Structure 1
Amino acid sequence: MPGWTNDDQASAWPAFLASCKAIGRQRQWADVCAAASLLGARPSTPQVRSFFEQHLVPWQSFGPGRTATGLVTGYYEPLIKGSRTRSAQHPWPVHAPPEDMLTIDLSSVYPDFKNLRLRGRLEGNRVVPYWSRAELAQRQDKLPLPVLFWASDPIDLFFLQVQGSGRIELPDGSQARIGYADQNGHPYQSIGRWLISQGQLSADKASMEGIKQWARDNPSRLAEMLNSNPSYVFFRELPASNSGPIGALGVPVSEGRSIAIDPAHVPLGAPVFLATSWPLSERPLNRLVMAQDTGGAIKGPVRVDFFWGFGAKAGAEAGRMRQQGQVWVLLPRGSTPSEMLKKP
């Protein structure tokens, strides 16, 4: 694994202990996490490196045709402006999950469906797909669709949905934290790709900042652009905390040491060694990270979303990151990837 001996693995130790809070109850991880607890909260880098080398084995992930490299993007925890009450300055709703949306779980009968987000609604005696983003915009006042907050900017709200969690700065200067609660079941479609296909942006300009600038320059086409992505994320309010946002594993993600992965290919909670490069450069970014989150656009065995942290600086790095990378999943000795991907 390139750069393994140069990484400061001790910086990843708190994230690994957080993972153990979730996966330590699984049979395959119980002994490893018990041994980790004996090292304490602040072991040295040589101790951490030795621990992983002693207890875990790296398995490299490959894509179709044994492709070793895949796409590495970035995400972050944004801060947007909003209010708990609707006003002319805050007209855009931040929704909690709708009361009429059904969650369809067929995994006990069809195991291949366990990682699919199946959401629907009743239409007579039939279950049909839940409303798309465009349909929600048209019908939201007629649906049992709770509102948590009201945002001041629709494009900031859209990117908060893409990130899956964030903070809202209220008019009095205080902040509220929200996290992913559910999704409408429609597949994520990139608005950047839509803009490229429409001839509105070149590929090198289709970054988060480039998309925001296009939205400011083309307000009459804002709804058309947003609705090109039928996926819609619903939120829940979280307690105030200085830790990172809660990922799909159920633990806070860590700046620079957590990633989102496809749980169909990488066990959620597992340590991962990522070999990639810094945004817009060839400078190596090789480090131990934890698979603690998922995302609608993160599909495949060599597809990673790197968590940069909170705020504008993190957002700038995340928005620029579109690198190639390789992935090694670190699993307990004696286990195999296929075994670890089964339900414990």
Structure 2
Amino acid sequence: MGSAWVRGGLALILGMLAACSSPPLQGPREPSVAPVPTAPRPSAARWVAVDWTELPGWGRDDLLAAWPALLAGCRRPVPGWAEFCARAALQPPADALEATLLLMKHLRPWRLAADNGDTTGLLTGYFEPRLAASRTRQGAFQWPVHALPADPALRRLPRREVDTHPRFAPLELAYLDDPFALLQLQIQGSGRLIMRDGSGVERVSRVAFAGHNDQPFESVAKALLARGEITDASWRGLSDWARRNPAKVRDAMAVNPRVVYFREEALADVAQGPRGAQGVPLTPGRSVAVDRSVIALGTPLWLDSTEPLSTTPLQRLVMAQDVGGAIAGAVRADLFWGLGDEAGLQAGRTKQALRLWALLPEGRKP
């Protein structure tokens, strides 16, 4: 089916809907529910029911590309989603138009706004890095990836003490050859470790977020910029500085007392993204981290922004499937770009204005 025909058909449908639409309604709010999955917190956002015609770019996204992420989110649906999820799984759409009509028939869009009424927020990005690693401490591989300590007191120690405390030695899962690669891994929350055994065969494993030490995060790059130590705060610039200044590296890293701990996971499917906070694999370009006190994990969202370093519209269906320490507020999302260097470049460039709409089952209120 041609894309022009699809857009034309949708334009007609949207026009008919607009002709009979009612004024937007202010959505009532419900208290949060714990444990995960959760429902939105009452004071965290304003929810306004709107018509489909208000979603910029609706009808132009290839919703079939988003369907795997939607079905993944349906593996752990929040209350009220079981009926829609069963329908989506049992009656998969044949094309983008059918997928669009299915969503329009059974869901309703709600515009998200901050408590002050602001409907514009921030979109950032993250990714899964590929990092050279070693099972043993050797040569340049001196920077350990730690497992989560069982002792809560040990777990809360700041970075400077973690680096020197003897009780952390048994918790060293692997070693990286770049301190800022370790920092990048801790910021992204997961990564793939590329290791070679004695015969030179490459082994790949995934390390995933297991917890942190409850210490505040401080930017090492910002501190180095303030001291005049660097002018390039990119990961490459930081790594170059570390190679030129090995004696200064540990003190620089200690500026950030936050330590993230990891668990190692089998990599059964190399094409599959890491598991997000919802417990399902993330889909590149279709999974986002959100503030789950506002948006329940597993909620489909319509995202309106621009491509990184561009004015080209970025308007697509995404799924709320992860969380992040810096992701707070109603109109805030962190888009998962995928694996490797190219995804890393996209993630690093992503810092654009954002508008969001949540899609909820018909008859269900936030």
Structure 1 residues 330, 222: CA separation in 2 closer, same or farther (over 3 Å shift)? farther
Say if 2:61 and 2:316, in contact at 8 Å, map to a contact too: yes
Report the counterpart of residue 260 of structure 2 in structure 1: 233
Q: Take 1:201 and 1:277, find their aligned partners in 2: how far apart are those partners?
A: 30
Report the counterpart of residue 185 of structure 1 in structure 2: 214
Structure 1 counterpart of 2:103, which letter? F
Say if 2:224 and 2:252, in contact at 8 Å, map to a contact too: yes
Q: What is the TM-score when the length of structure 2 is the normalising length? A: 0.77
Provide the identity percentage: 42
Q: What is the TM-score when the length of structure 1 is the normalising length? A: 0.82
Q: Take 1:135 and 1:96, find their aligned partners in 2: how far apart are those partners?
A: 15
Say if 1:209 and 1:319, in contact at 8 Å, map to a contact too: no
The structure 1 residue matched to 2:149, chosen from 79, 98, 107, is 98
Say if 1:188 and 1:296, in contact at 8 Å, map to a contact too: no
Q: Take 1:12 and 1:159, find their aligned partners in 2: how far apart are those partners?
A: 28
Measured after TM superposition, the shift of residue 154 of structure 1 is 1.3
Residue deviations 1:164-202 (CA, integer Å, cap 9, x gap): 111011023221111111121223334344445545567
- Which structure has the bigger radius of gyration? 2
List runs of 5+ in structure 2 lacking aligned partners.
Answer: 1-54
Q: Take 1:51 and 1:6, find their aligned partners in 2: how far apart are those partners?
A: 15
Structure 1 residues 187, 28: CA separation in 2 closer, same or farther (over 3 Å shift)? farther
Q: Take 1:289 and 1:65, find their aligned partners in 2: how far apart are those partners?
A: 25
Q: Superposition pairs for residues 230-269 of structure 1, below 5 Å? A: 230-240=257-267, 241-242=269-270, 243-269=272-298
The count of corresponding residues between Structure 1 and Structure 2 is 306
The structure 2 residue matched to 1:222, chosen from 249, 261, 264, is 249
Structure 1 residues 222, 12: CA separation in 2 closer, same or farther (over 3 Å shift)? same
Q: Take 1:300 and 1:212, find their aligned partners in 2: how far apart are those partners?
A: 33
Task: Give the RMSD, CA atoms, in angstroms.
Answer: 2.2
Say if 1:92 and 1:153, in contact at 8 Å, map to a contact too: yes
Q: Superposition pairs for residues 136-155 of structure 1, below 5 Å? A: 136-139=162-165, 141-143=166-168, 146-155=171-180
Measured after TM superposition, the shift of residue 286 of structure 1 is 0.9
- 1:155 is paired with a residue of what secondary structure? helix
- 1:176 is paired with a residue of what secondary structure? strand
Measured after TM superposition, the shift of residue 218 of structure 1 is 4.5
The structure 2 residue matched to 1:166, chosen from 175, 178, 191, is 191
Q: Take 2:356 and 2:224, find their aligned partners in 1: how far apart are those partners?
A: 30
Q: Superposition pairs for residues 42-81 of structure 1, below 5 Å? A: 43-81=94-132
Shift >6 Å, 4+ stretches:
none
Q: Take 1:209 and 1:73, find their aligned partners in 2: how far apart are those partners?
A: 20
Measured after TM superposition, the shift of residue 255 of structure 1 is 0.9
Q: Take 1:151 and 1:62, find their aligned partners in 2: how far apart are those partners?
A: 42
* Between 9-18 and 165-174, the greater mean CA deviation after superposition: 165-174
Say if 2:123 and 2:350, in contact at 8 Å, map to a contact too: yes
Residue deviations 1:188-242 (CA, integer Å, cap 9, x gap): 334344445545567xx54444444444455444334333332211111111122
Q: Take 1:197 and 1:327, find their aligned partners in 2: how far apart are those partners?
A: 35
Report the counterpart of residue 36 of structure 1 in structure 2: 88
Measured after TM superposition, the shift of residue 94 of structure 1 is 0.8
Q: Take 2:174 and 2:59, find their aligned partners in 1: how far apart are those partners?
A: 46
Counterpart check, 1:10 vs 2:10? no
Counterpart check, 1:304 vs 2:333? yes
Q: Superposition pairs for residues 262-341 of structure 1, below 5 Å? A: 262-337=291-366
- 2:116 is paired with a residue of what secondary structure? helix
Q: Superposition pairs for residues 181-220 of structure 1, below 5 Å? A: 181-198=210-227, 206-220=233-247
Q: Take 2:247 and 2:169, find their aligned partners in 1: how far apart are those partners?
A: 28
Measured after TM superposition, the shift of residue 73 of structure 1 is 1.2
Measured after TM superposition, the shift of residue 280 of structure 1 is 1.3
Report the counterpart of residue 135 of structure 1 in structure 2: 161
Structure 1 counterpart of 2:212, which letter? Q
Measured after TM superposition, the shift of residue 58 of structure 1 is 1.8
Q: Superposition pairs for residues 101-116 of structure 1, below 5 Å? A: 101=152
Say if 1:275 and 1:327, in contact at 8 Å, map to a contact too: yes
